[in-house]
Amino acid sequence: MIKDNKMKFLEQVEKWWPVAKGSIALVHKPCTNKNCHVCKSGKRHPSFILEYMEEGKRKCMHVPKAMVETLKKAIENGRLLEKELLKMGKEMILDYRHRRDQAKENK
Protein backbone atom coordinates (compact mmCIF):
# COMPACT_ATOMS: atom_id res chain seq x y z
CA MET A 1 0.00 0.00 0.00
CA ILE A 2 2.75 2.47 0.93
CA LYS A 3 4.73 1.68 -2.26
CA ASP A 4 1.61 2.24 -4.37
CA ASN A 5 1.03 5.59 -2.67
CA LYS A 6 4.67 6.54 -3.20
CA MET A 7 4.47 5.84 -6.93
CA LYS A 8 1.20 7.79 -7.26
CA PHE A 9 2.74 10.68 -5.34
CA LEU A 10 5.88 10.77 -7.49
CA GLU A 11 3.81 10.70 -10.67
CA GLN A 12 1.65 13.57 -9.40
CA VAL A 13 4.62 15.68 -8.28
CA GLU A 14 6.14 15.36 -11.73
CA LYS A 15 2.94 16.86 -13.20
CA TRP A 16 3.12 19.75 -10.72
CA TRP A 17 6.61 20.90 -11.76
CA PRO A 18 7.71 23.68 -11.33
CA VAL A 19 6.92 24.07 -7.64
CA ALA A 20 7.56 26.94 -5.21
CA LYS A 21 6.34 28.30 -1.90
CA GLY A 22 5.48 31.91 -1.18
CA SER A 23 3.27 34.55 -2.76
CA ILE A 24 3.60 37.17 -5.47
CA ALA A 25 2.58 40.75 -4.84
CA LEU A 26 2.33 43.72 -7.17
CA VAL A 27 3.95 46.78 -5.62
CA HIS A 28 4.70 50.28 -6.89
CA LYS A 29 8.24 51.55 -6.37
CA PRO A 30 10.20 54.63 -7.36
CA CYS A 31 13.03 54.21 -9.80
CA THR A 32 16.58 55.53 -9.53
CA ASN A 33 16.15 58.13 -12.29
CA LYS A 34 15.85 61.47 -10.49
CA ASN A 35 14.26 63.05 -13.61
CA CYS A 36 11.55 60.38 -14.01
CA HIS A 37 8.19 61.97 -14.84
CA VAL A 38 6.26 58.97 -13.48
CA CYS A 39 7.93 59.14 -10.08
CA LYS A 40 7.61 62.93 -9.94
CA SER A 41 3.86 62.59 -10.53
CA GLY A 42 3.67 60.27 -7.50
CA LYS A 43 2.51 57.23 -9.50
CA ARG A 44 5.67 55.11 -9.21
CA HIS A 45 6.46 52.02 -11.27
CA PRO A 46 4.69 48.65 -10.97
CA SER A 47 6.90 45.76 -9.92
CA PHE A 48 6.35 42.21 -8.70
CA ILE A 49 7.92 40.72 -5.59
CA LEU A 50 8.05 37.19 -4.22
CA GLU A 51 7.29 37.07 -0.51
CA TYR A 52 8.41 34.00 1.44
CA MET A 53 9.47 32.86 4.91
CA GLU A 54 13.05 31.86 5.66
CA GLU A 55 14.16 30.80 9.13
CA GLY A 56 11.00 32.34 10.59
CA LYS A 57 11.54 35.71 8.94
CA ARG A 58 9.56 37.23 6.09
CA LYS A 59 11.73 37.89 3.04
CA CYS A 60 11.09 39.25 -0.43
CA MET A 61 12.79 39.32 -3.81
CA HIS A 62 12.13 41.22 -7.01
CA VAL A 63 10.54 39.03 -9.69
CA PRO A 64 11.58 39.79 -13.28
CA LYS A 65 8.53 40.47 -15.45
CA ALA A 66 9.39 37.50 -17.70
CA MET A 67 9.12 35.13 -14.71
CA VAL A 68 5.83 36.31 -13.18
CA GLU A 69 3.49 33.79 -14.86
CA THR A 70 5.88 30.87 -14.35
CA LEU A 71 6.31 31.73 -10.68
CA LYS A 72 2.55 32.13 -10.17
CA LYS A 73 2.05 28.61 -11.58
CA ALA A 74 4.88 27.25 -9.40
CA ILE A 75 3.27 28.74 -6.28
CA GLU A 76 -0.12 27.29 -7.23
CA ASN A 77 1.58 23.90 -7.71
CA GLY A 78 3.30 24.30 -4.32
CA ARG A 79 -0.09 24.76 -2.65
CA LEU A 80 -1.38 21.60 -4.34
CA LEU A 81 1.71 19.76 -3.11
CA GLU A 82 1.13 20.94 0.47
CA LYS A 83 -2.47 19.66 0.36
CA GLU A 84 -1.24 16.31 -0.93
CA LEU A 85 1.35 16.06 1.86
CA LEU A 86 -1.34 16.67 4.47
CA LYS A 87 -3.52 14.01 2.88
CA MET A 88 -0.64 11.53 2.82
CA GLY A 89 0.02 11.92 6.55
CA LYS A 90 -3.60 11.06 7.35
CA GLU A 91 -3.55 8.12 4.93
CA MET A 92 -0.40 6.72 6.54
CA ILE A 93 -2.08 6.69 9.95
CA LEU A 94 -5.29 5.17 8.61
CA ASP A 95 -3.30 2.51 6.75
CA TYR A 96 -1.33 1.70 9.90
CA ARG A 97 -4.53 1.38 11.96
CA HIS A 98 -6.11 -0.85 9.33
CA ARG A 99 -3.08 -3.20 9.24
CA ARG A 100 -2.92 -3.23 13.06
CA ASP A 101 -6.61 -4.11 13.34
CA GLN A 102 -6.26 -6.82 10.69
CA ALA A 103 -3.35 -8.34 12.63
CA LYS A 104 -5.45 -8.38 15.84
CA GLU A 105 -8.32 -10.14 14.05
CA ASN A 106 -5.98 -12.81 12.65
CA LYS A 107 -4.68 -13.77 16.10
> What is the CB-side half-sphere exposure of residue 100 using CA atoms within 13 A?
6
For 33-82, the pLDDT digits (tens) are: 888 988 888 888 999 999 999 999 999 999 999 999 999 999 999 999 99
Q: Is a pLDDT exceeding 90 seen at residue 1?
A: no
pLDDT of res. 48 = 96
| Contact between 43 and 57 (Cβ < 8 Å) | no
| Contact between 67 and 61 (Cβ < 8 Å) | no
Q: How many CB atoms lie within 10 A of CB 14?
A: 8
pTM of the model: 0.74
Rounded Cα distance, 97 and 44, in Å? 59
Parent domain of 45: 2-105
For 86-107, the pLDDT digits (tens) are: 888 888 899 899 989 988 888 7
| Contact between 74 and 20 (Cβ < 8 Å) | yes
Q: Is a pLDDT exceeding 60 seen at residue 3?
A: yes
Rounded Cα distance, 48 and 45, in Å? 10
SS3 32: coil
Count up the domains in the chain and report the number: 1
